[in-house]
Structure 1
């Protein structure tokens, strides 16, 4: 089961960032990205396609998983833009943030 941690700008509105831990018994890094963006959009991960967000349009999920999973160093940090969301994937979590654009 994944865990989503959302942060807001303090106004009580929709969250500005969402963090999803991956690995272990949690989701793969690519699925963590999908879950984090879905949290910001306010839909279930399976419904992101209906919102026009398809991760594969931006990055190969298998390549992302291979790059991040089971790294012996903890310095892995992948940054990308997915459908206007800034995403950073580290060794244990994916963080999505609304783009300032």
Structure 2
């Protein structure tokens, strides 16, 4: 089970960012990215393809997992843009934010 933490701005209840922890008992880093984006999109992670968001179209999930999984003591930070969301994946969490134009 993952833990999604959403942060709203003062302008309303729509979350600006979502953070999902990964590793240990949590999901793989690539799944944490999917869960964070789904939280911001307001859909179940399985519904993201219907919203036009397919992680594999932007990054190889296996490669992302290999880069950051199990490296809690390392200085790892991967940044990418996925279908209008800015995503940063560190050694213990994935943070998604709506891309600013």
Q: TM-score, normalising length from structure 1?
A: 0.96
Instruction: Map 1:23-42 to 2 at 5 A.
Output: 23-42=23-42
Alignment match, 1:85: 85
Alignment match, 1:47: 47
Q: How far apart are 1:93 and its partner, in Å?
A: 0.1
Q: Which runs of 5+ in 1 are unaligned?
A: none
CA offsets, 1:18-52, max 9 Å, x none? 00000001000000000000000000000000000
Alignment match, 1:62: 62
Q: How far apart are 1:11 and its partner, in Å?
A: 2.6
Q: Give RMSD over aligned pairs.
A: 1.0
CA distance in 1, matches of 2:60, 2:79: 14
SS at 2:66 equivalent = helix
SS at 1:16 equivalent = strand
Structure 1 moving runs of 4+ over 6 Å: none
Q: TM-score, normalising length from structure 2?
A: 0.96
CA distance in 2, matches of 1:74, 1:44: 31
Q: Which runs of 5+ in 2 are unaligned?
A: none
